[in-house]
């Protein structure tokens, strides 16, 4: 597909095409929420800054924040392309169909869509194994309470998988752990995230995880004397008393690879999913009052994820209606993990939809 690039780009990009020296690779990032001070988008921004620093004047990066998962996303990507960006990172699930549409019209541009599942010759999808971080956080939670809660964002398999993985981690310490979930149906809505956290606490939860994009759950836990985790970024600074650990994503290794491949003319489409093993996921800053044996258990799980001897989703696993969904000894493959739409045993209620 490399050959397709020149023809369609010619009318709009004639001066560039004629340039005798190699231009900088222009790389655009599109974010769903404000960069803010911690969370999903903040981590993507750290990745962008890291590659800008690493590749210096070989690349020129830019970003647009707070782009809704609507036709606005298409407009922003077309604008980025008009400005000469040849590599576009679209960093939220709901951008998927807009990426597909724009990619079909602009074969000379490479697209990278975070957390989606649709690919094209010039559009790859990528994600990190956030469920591994959720499981590690769960191990810590399991030692600190009997009832955990999760503030959930948008009901897609990724989020259901993270809720379940957190609970499986907790149950690896204490099989009797029960969990409650409240959905806010948005990625970034701090007031709703706080409201959901308050309702969990009012319902008897004292340790929370979340799949939303701000530190609101953690801040609410701090105010209410409960405990919670940071997610995506290191959120320890927001809640010194409540913070139990942060399940951190580092997008830098993947972004570095993609930019290097693009500069080398080796960019490829595909579906890339990096985790603890690749240095993309870690549980950081575990609280001082977490017992040492639990910290050791986290380290052991991490070591197993790194050397391939431990997989979070190893059977037997039962759903919350008691049905076996993964038989004993079986390790789930990626396709199975990508289609999870049930709650594991111990979680109250039903997956929406
Ligand atoms: N957009 C903003 N946050 C997220 C997230 O955690 N997952 C996905 N898939 N998209 C997002």
Structure ipTM: 0.94
For the chain, counts of helices (H) and of strands (E): 12, 14
Q: Is 158 in the pocket of ligand 1 (CB under 6 A)?
A: yes
| C-alpha 14 – ligand 1 centre gap (Å) | 37
Partners of 313 in beta bridges: none
Structure tokens belonging to residue 257: 């690879």
Cα–Cα distance, 246 to 236 (Å, whole number): 7
Q: Is 93 in the pocket of ligand 1 (CB under 6 A)?
A: yes
Q: Which of 30, 33, 40, 133 to mutate to test the pocket of ligand 1 (most atoms within 8 A of CB)?
A: 40
Q: Is 166 in the pocket of ligand 1 (CB under 6 A)?
A: no
Q: Is 345 in the pocket of ligand 1 (CB under 6 A)?
A: no
Structure tokens belonging to residue 237: 């600074």
Closest residue by CA, ligand 1 atom 1 = 92
Please give the number of the atom of ligand 1 that sits closest to the Cα of 39.
3
Cα–Cα distance, 156 to 183 (Å, whole number): 11
In order of 45, 161, 334, 344, the CA distances from 91 in angstroms are 10, 19, 20, 28
Among 88, 172, 185, 103, smallest CA distance to 134 is for 172
Closest residue by CA, ligand 1 atom 3 = 187
Cα–Cα distance, 114 to 48 (Å, whole number): 14
Q: Is 40 in the pocket of ligand 1 (CB under 6 A)?
A: yes
Q: Is 115 in the pocket of ligand 1 (CB under 6 A)?
A: yes
Dihedral over alpha carbons 353, 154, 189, 131 (to 10 degrees): 140
Please give the number of the atom of ligand 1 that sits closest to the Cα of 232.
6
Contact 17, 10 (CB under 8 A): yes
Q: Is 92 in the pocket of ligand 1 (CB under 6 A)?
A: yes
| C-alpha 18 – ligand 1 centre gap (Å) | 39
Q: Is 31 in the pocket of ligand 1 (CB under 6 A)?
A: no
Structure tokens belonging to residue 164: 């379940």
Instruction: Give every CB contact of residue 138 below 8 A, 6+ residues apart in sequence.
Output: 148, 165, 166, 167, 168, 169, 170, 171, 172, 209
Instruction: Give every CB contact of residue 142 below 8 A, 6+ residues apart in sequence.
Output: 148, 169, 170, 171, 172, 173, 174, 177, 294
- Eight-state DSSP code of residue 210: E
Q: Is 128 in the pocket of ligand 1 (CB under 6 A)?
A: no
Q: Is 210 in the pocket of ligand 1 (CB under 6 A)?
A: no
Which pTM value belongs to this model? 0.92
Per-residue pLDDT of the chain (353 residues; tens, 9 = 90+): 434 444 444 444 445 554 445 689 999 999 999 999 889 999 999 999 999 999 999 999 999 999 999 999 999 999 999 999 999 999 999 999 999 999 999 999 999 999 999 999 999 999 999 999 999 999 999 999 999 999 999 999 999 999 999 999 999 999 999 999 999 999 999 999 999 999 999 999 999 999 999 999 999 999 999 999 999 999 999 999 999 999 999 999 999 999 999 999 999 999 999 999 999 999 999 999 999 999 999 999 999 999 999 999 999 999 999 999 999 999 999 999 999 999 999 999 999 98
């Amino acid at each position: 597909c490399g050959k397709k690039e020149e023809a369609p780009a010619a009318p709009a990009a004639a001066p560039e095409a004629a340039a005798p020296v190699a231009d900088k690779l222009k790389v655009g990032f599109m974010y769903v929420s404000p960069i803010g001070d911690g969370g999903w988008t903040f981590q993507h921004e750290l990745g962008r800054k890291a590659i800008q620093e690493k590749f210096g004047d070989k690349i020129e990066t830019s970003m647009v924040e707070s782009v809704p998962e609507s036709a606005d996303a298409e407009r922003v990507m077309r604008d980025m392309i008009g400005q000469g960006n040849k590599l576009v990172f679209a960093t939220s699930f709901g951008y998927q169909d807009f990426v597909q549409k724009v990619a079909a019209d602009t074969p000379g541009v490479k697209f990278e869509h975070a957390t989606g599942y649709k690919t094209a010759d010039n559009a790859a999808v990528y994600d990190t194994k956030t469920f591994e971080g959720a499981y590690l956080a769960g191990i810590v939670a399991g030692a600190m309470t009997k009832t955990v809660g999760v503030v959930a964002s948008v009901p897609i398999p990724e989020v259901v998988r993270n809720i379940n993985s957190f609970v499986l981690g907790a149950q690896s310490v204490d099989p009797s752990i029960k969990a409650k979930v409240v959905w806010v149906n948005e990625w970034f809505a701090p007031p709703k995230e706080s409201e959901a956290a308050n309702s969990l606490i009012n319902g008897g939860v004292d340790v929370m995880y979340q799949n939303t994009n701000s530190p609101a759950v953690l801040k609410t836990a701090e105010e209410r004397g409960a405990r919670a985790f940071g997610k995506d970024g290191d959120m320890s600074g927001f809640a010194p008393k409540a913070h139990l650990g942060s399940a951190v994503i580092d997008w830098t290794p993947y972004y570095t690879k993609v930019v290097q491949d693009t500069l080398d003319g080796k960019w490829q489409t595909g579906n890339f999913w990096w985790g603890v093993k690749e240095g993309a996921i870690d549980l950081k800053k575990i609280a001082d009052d977490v017992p040492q044996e639990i910290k050791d258990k986290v380290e052991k799980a991490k070591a197993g994820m790194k050397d391939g001897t431990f997989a979070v989703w190893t059977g037997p696993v039962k759903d919350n209606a008691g049905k076996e969904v993964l038989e004993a000894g079986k390790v789930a493959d990626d396709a199975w993990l990508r289609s999870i739409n049930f709650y594991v045993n111990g979680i109250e209620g039903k997956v929406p939809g």
